[in-house]
Structure 1
Amino acid sequence: MSDGPRPDPTAVEVSVVLPAYNEEDTIESTVRLTLSTLSEFLPSGSFEVIVAEDGCDDRTPEIATRLAESDPRVRHFHSDERLGRGGALTRAFDAADGETLVYFDTDLATDMAHLEELVESVRSEEYDVATGSRWMPGHEADRPTKRSVPSKGFNLLVRTFLRSDVLDHQCGFKAMSRGAFDQLKGDIGDDHWFWDTELLVRAQRRGLSVTEFPVEWEPKGDTKVDLVRDVFGMGSQIVRLWWQLSVRPRITTRVTLVAGTLLVALAVLLMTRYLDPREVIAEMRRADPTLIALAVGVYVLSWPVRGYRYRDILAELGFREDLGFLTGAIFVSQTGNLVFPARAGDAIRAYIVKVRRDIPYPSGFASLAAERVFDLLTITGLAGIVLVGYAVSGQFGEVAATVSGGDDPGQIAVAGAVGVGGAALLVVAAIVTSARSGGNRIRQFVGWVTDDSYGEYIAGVLERFVGDIQRVGADSTAFARVGAASVLIWTIDVLTAALVLAAFGVGLSTASLLAVCFFAVSVGNLAKVLPLSPGGVGLYEAAFTLLVVGLTPIGPAVAVGAAILDHALKNVVTLVGGGISMFALNVSLSTAAEETRELNEPEPVNE
């Protein structure tokens, strides 16, 4: 920050912020016109103009510094990196002295004759927030089609989905009281162009008084909005804000449990339309009980491996625990995932290691994240490897024929799975390469697609994803052990499914049986990532069935029966192990769920 001798901050009533990014051609004239306009209706010393310069790479910083040094009413906030338009505004308003906070675009597209009305709407305490409007009836701005059509479409979507009464959300000519800003700044999630819209929507939801008045507006120069990248990003922001305001506050444990149960019931009803349940039950009764029992025994073997892998992950975080305790903690958490929706059991494990071994919650959640990373990498990698195996064995033509064979549900499922598998190979390779390189270039890659805050959020998630691997991968031996354990865990899962399918006497060769099960189990577990039902019941069976039917001559009744038995026996083993572990560790599932719910409780949203 650079500024000259400033007037008494306590005397400043109005702070005008000019967000500036590469404005060397206009910033000086804009600052001077702003000062002269403010002086026409405000007392001397009662206002300030802040240039919120946002990582410019032109002469804007030099000009802003000179202006601040020559006029005590001007302040300059410099940033070496892009904060985003909303980020720059938030930073400047936080440091501003006035109780009335104003901002407008530096190109002065809005006629400055409206500045007094904007300022006085809030300064008079008549309204909490005021905004100019280019789209009020009888005052529509004359804009080029390429800018007016997206703008009107965007405002229509905001009014429809976010229940806003404002006609023009993105007009860069707004004011608010200090109290309104303090209430809203912590809730606004965007740091770029959507900041304006979110400000208005959240102000209305909080019951603040918002006024919109028509302004004379003339487009100046080229817009800095990228009509592909930013419009896409702002569309995703509408979805994000709609979810936060209208959906998430209503998602309680009871609601998700009921919704998940209804989805499973609906899936069963739809299945009966195409398949006779009696035929499925008959096929299940004919399954070889010896092979089913063997499948149970094989699946049980995966649990100590899970404990071993979790022990290695925690060791890399600086915590050393015994194998039995960790295996029990995993049993309890997986039981929680079967009982509660949205994978709530994952947080239960963090609770167990905290109260029983005093491992801090951040470390507990970090260990869970690392484990999930390796799970996802392994199952997606397995799906991709199977595709390669089909190609090497010369059977890829059969898969391709199945994919292009029509609109049968099985064929559609295989087509989707092929896409998932192919993409998985590329994503796994990119993530592992990035993780093992010691660098993290995720944000740079996401920045090529979008630079709005939603993209920043996605980049942050992916960075943590890679960072969790890097944490374990810092030790090459530990990375190899955890990776090998993950492959073994999911190979056992696949062998369990293969034994179940073989119990139905399907007549497939061992190679074909394993190949289809590797693919079906991988994609089935990827489907379970969607937290639509407790334990992914229904999602796994659907994905497994469609892939088996699409890739083999096995009939739907057998495929459904095998999918149900496979998932059921795995869930029964989990529940039995979870019950024993809860007794051994003296842990109450309901108490653990309540404790962890408080940790993840979203902040209330006033509507």
Structure 2
Amino acid sequence: MSEESVSVSVVLPAYNEAATIRTTVETTLATLSAFLSDDEFEVIVAEDGCEDRTPEIADEMAAEDDRVRHFHADERLGRGGALERAFRASHGDTLVYFDTDLATDMRHLEELVESVRTEGYDVVTGSRWMAGNVADRPAKRGVPSRVYNGLARLFLRSDLRDHQCGFKAFDRAALFALLDDVQDRHWFWDTEVLVKAQRRGFRVKEFAVDWEPKGDTKVDLVRDVFGMGSQILRTWWELSVSPRVNRRVGIVAGTLLTFVAVFLMVFHYLEPDKVWSNLQAADLTLVGVAAAIYVVSWPLRGLRYRDILEEIGFESRVGFLTGAIFISQTGNLVFPARLGDGVRAYVMKARRDVPYSSGFASLAVERVFDLLTITVLAGSVMIALVVSGDASQVASALAGETVGPRYESAARYASYVAAFVGTAAVVAVVAIVASARSDRNLVRPVVDRLSDDSYAMEVVAVVEGFVGDVQTVAGSRRSFAIVGGSSLLVWTLDVVTGIVVMLAVGIQLPVATLVAIGFFAVSVGNLAKVLPLSPGGVGLYEGAFTALVVGLAPGITVELALTAAIVDHAVKNVVTVVGGLGSMLALNVSLTEAVEESTEAREGGEAVPTES
């Protein structure tokens, strides 16, 4: 068969299909022969790192029939990777693929092919969700499929009903014009091609097909939930957000949002009639001293982060790391759910080539030590207060009984959150240290029970890297002591900042009492605001701080304690924002640039096909 005579290339992606591949190829050849001459088509078995006899059977068929070709891969490429590799090595101008289980009725094959060949469509896809089809969709398959396609239509502005039906055809020139922009190499490949074809203005046809599931579903929990869901978000960002965002827009938007956030934090709980006069009477010199003390804690954060990174094998300057922390903490004031933590991982990947798994692992280590240190500080003071005979007073303060009905629920809620976070921190440290001293790998066995897909194994590798980095730091007594000591210094300065603010707004207490209450109130307040239940912890911090100061120092009014909480929180947030904006300018990074630069370059170029 001459390569020049081939006009249609059909690719069959195959993974462990030994039981069915021969029947599939024979059915495909017979169906194509019904409307094409034998020299007009070829059938390519794109075998994707199979572990059964699929390669041997495919070799036998290729030797028996010159219309059949076989491409072997020693390792899994993913469905999209295997398809793209075979398409690039094909000879036809009309490129077709369908799933080897032949779930789609083969009587539709002629319409699929001719829609491209003679009707001039660039992309054609079968659909199990259009009116007029017959498709047996049990809930196990149907519900996830409807949800997925709904999300694709919503976020990616697609007009199609079914993006993942394994029954598609392409004009060669159109497909090759799209492939360089298609990043996924797994199951999302289909959706990405269809969405980008629509965005590029290619003629796309969707038609109803009769479909019947064959065998067990290959829907995979890890791959489909984490992989395809994240790919929808990645493509949405690429197509809808990134084109509208540049460095200048990012800096301006980030600046406005951070100042709005700080403004709301300062004034959300403000009662002008009762609190404003306290704010006006505050000693600005002491407020400035408090800010200066808090500023000193930031290079210590950079030093601590350097020690954490060095322990897992990465080096960087303290100045850069301090700036990266400033940017990420500013992001936490702007974005919900502590998304600023992710910004730091992106910055470290983009600017210092720290893998995402290690970037998030270093953040996890930092957070665990933060929470453990704050818990130790709060717990130590609480024990001292209880031992001194103030147990009932501490209980009343934590329950919010001393601040009146207006703030009681907020104070109680903040105390519950602080107790939960503190307990979780202790449990996390115990678990990490214990696991660091064990050689058992608990990640892979758990994921193996959920999935055996190649994408899942990639997830496993990332998680194992994350866990290994965390254990490296936690398992070393030296690093544990160094990071723990620097964490103690960081949070002691944070508490001292709060104590100086208490003095600045006029809270007069004996030194020992002021220090004890300051350590307890600031530490519990910091624990309360850890969970991303409000932007920047607004309300939770103030509720816990106010309740404890009033409860443990009966002579202090609610309004005065609330003033101290507001000023303390505001001073720290203003320092964070100013440092964040300065770091963005100094490092030439914006909050949005971190996301822009997060897309990893495709690795290694195109694979070279090996034909059997």
Q: TM > 0.5 between the two? A: yes
Partner of 2:585: 589
Q: Which one of the candidate residues 513, 521, 531 is aligned to 2:526?
A: 521
Listed one character per residue, the Cα deviations across residues 360-380 of structure 1 (whole Å, up to 9, x for unaligned) are 843799998786454333224
**1:548 and 2:549 correspond:** no
Partner of 2:129: 135
**1:378 and 2:372 correspond:** no
Matches within 5 A, 1:522-537: 522=527, 524=529, 527=532
Quick one: which amino acid aligns to residue 18 of structure 1?
L
CA distance in 1 between counterparts of 2:215 and 2:227 reads: 22
CA distance in 2 between counterparts of 1:368 and 1:143 reads: 42
Quick one: which amino acid aligns to residue 102 of structure 1?
V
Listed one character per residue, the Cα deviations across residues 403-449 of structure 1 (whole Å, up to 9, x for unaligned) are 9x999455455555555555555555666666777898757656666
CA distance in 1 between counterparts of 2:532 and 2:180 reads: 35
Higher relative contact order (CA 8 A, sep 6+): 2
| Superposition deviation, residue 166 in structure 1 | 1.1
| Superposition deviation, residue 232 in structure 1 | 7.5
Quick one: which amino acid aligns to residue 548 of structure 1?
F
Matches within 5 A, 1:228-239: 230=224, 234-235=228-229, 237-239=231-233
| Superposition deviation, residue 107 in structure 1 | 1.7
CA distance in 1 between counterparts of 2:460 and 2:454 reads: 9
SS in 2 for 1:41: coil
**1:156 and 2:150 correspond:** yes
**1:496 and 2:497 correspond:** yes
SS in 1 for 2:353: helix
Number of residue-to-residue matches in the alignment: 572
Quick one: which amino acid aligns to residue 564 of structure 2?
A
Q: Which one of the candidate residues 348, 355, 362 is aligned to 2:353?
A: 362
Partner of 2:79: 85
**1:225 and 2:219 correspond:** yes
Matches within 5 A, 1:295-306: 295-296=290-291, 298-303=293-298, 305-306=300-301
| Superposition deviation, residue 258 in structure 1 | 3.8
Q: Are 1:65 and 1:76, in contact at CA under 8 Å, matched by a contact in 2?
A: yes
Partner of 1:566: 568
Over 3 Å counting, the alpha-carbon distance change for 1:211 and 1:514 in structure 2 is: same
More moved, 157-166 vs 300-309: 300-309
| Superposition deviation, residue 130 in structure 1 | 0.8
Partner of 2:486: 485
Partner of 2:103: 109
| Superposition deviation, residue 40 in structure 1 | 3.2
Q: Which one of the candidate residues 232, 250, 254 is aligned to 2:249?
A: 254
Partner of 1:539: 536
| Superposition deviation, residue 347 in structure 1 | 10
SS in 2 for 1:241: helix
Listed one character per residue, the Cα deviations across residues 463-497 of structure 1 (whole Å, up to 9, x for unaligned) are 66456557878987456534533443234334433
Q: Which one of the candidate residues 12, 16, 26 is aligned to 2:10?
A: 16
SS in 1 for 2:201: coil
Over 3 Å counting, the alpha-carbon distance change for 1:82 and 1:362 in structure 2 is: closer
CA distance in 1 between counterparts of 2:119 and 2:313 reads: 56
SS in 2 for 1:539: helix
CA distance in 1 between counterparts of 2:176 and 2:494 reads: 52
Q: What are the ranges of 5 or more consecutive residues in structure 1 without an aligned counterpart? A: 1-6, 355-359, 531-537
Q: Are 2:375 and 2:527, in contact at CA under 8 Å, matched by a contact in 1?
A: no
Q: Are 2:123 and 2:169, in contact at CA under 8 Å, matched by a contact in 1?
A: yes
| Superposition deviation, residue 19 in structure 1 | 2.5
Listed one character per residue, the Cα deviations across residues 173-231 of structure 1 (whole Å, up to 9, x for unaligned) are 01223344334445445444433223212221222221112222233333222589846
TM-score (structure 2 length as normaliser): 0.71
Quick one: which amino acid aligns to residue 107 of structure 2?
A
SS in 2 for 1:107: coil
Over 3 Å counting, the alpha-carbon distance change for 1:600 and 1:132 in structure 2 is: closer
| Superposition deviation, residue 132 in structure 1 | 0.9
| Superposition deviation, residue 169 in structure 1 | 1.8
SS in 2 for 1:216: coil
CA distance in 2 between counterparts of 1:87 and 1:398 reads: 63
SS in 1 for 2:218: coil
Q: Are 2:78 and 2:186, in contact at CA under 8 Å, matched by a contact in 1?
A: yes
Matches within 5 A, 1:438-449: none
Q: Are 2:312 and 2:469, in contact at CA under 8 Å, matched by a contact in 1?
A: no
Q: Are 2:297 and 2:490, in contact at CA under 8 Å, matched by a contact in 1?
A: yes
More moved, 427-436 vs 140-149: 427-436
SS in 1 for 2:96: strand
CA distance in 2 between counterparts of 1:277 and 1:460 reads: 55
CA distance in 2 between counterparts of 1:26 and 1:368 reads: 44
Over 3 Å counting, the alpha-carbon distance change for 1:62 and 1:263 in structure 2 is: same
Partner of 1:203: 197
Quick one: which amino acid aligns to residue 114 of structure 1?
H
Partner of 2:608: none
CA distance in 2 between counterparts of 1:12 and 1:550 reads: 80
Q: Are 2:306 and 2:321, in contact at CA under 8 Å, matched by a contact in 1?
A: no
Q: Are 2:308 and 2:473, in contact at CA under 8 Å, matched by a contact in 1?
A: yes
Q: Are 2:24 and 2:100, in contact at CA under 8 Å, matched by a contact in 1?
A: yes
More moved, 495-504 vs 473-482: 473-482
CA distance in 2 between counterparts of 1:412 and 1:461 reads: 36
CA distance in 2 between counterparts of 1:456 and 1:519 reads: 40
CA distance in 1 between counterparts of 2:356 and 2:136 reads: 53
SS in 1 for 2:563: helix
CA distance in 1 between counterparts of 2:188 and 2:346 reads: 36
SS in 1 for 2:95: strand
Quick one: which amino acid aligns to residue 562 of structure 1?
A
| Superposition deviation, residue 297 in structure 1 | 5.7
| Superposition deviation, residue 549 in structure 1 | 4.9
**1:169 and 2:166 correspond:** no
Q: Are 1:20 and 1:52, in contact at CA under 8 Å, matched by a contact in 2?
A: yes
TM-score (structure 1 length as normaliser): 0.72
Q: Among the aligned pairs, what percent are the same residue? A: 47
Listed one character per residue, the Cα deviations across residues 59-81 of structure 1 (whole Å, up to 9, x for unaligned) are 44443344344444334445566
SS in 1 for 2:126: strand
Quick one: which amino acid aligns to residue 89 of structure 1?
L
Quick one: which amino acid aligns to residue 588 of structure 2?
A
Over 3 Å counting, the alpha-carbon distance change for 1:370 and 1:281 in structure 2 is: farther
When the two chains are superposed, the root-mean-square deviation of aligned CA atoms in Å is 5.4
Quick one: which amino acid aligns to residue 376 of structure 1?
R
**1:242 and 2:240 correspond:** no
Partner of 1:4: none
Over 3 Å counting, the alpha-carbon distance change for 1:56 and 1:561 in structure 2 is: farther
CA distance in 2 between counterparts of 1:90 and 1:521 reads: 51
CA distance in 2 between counterparts of 1:384 and 1:454 reads: 39
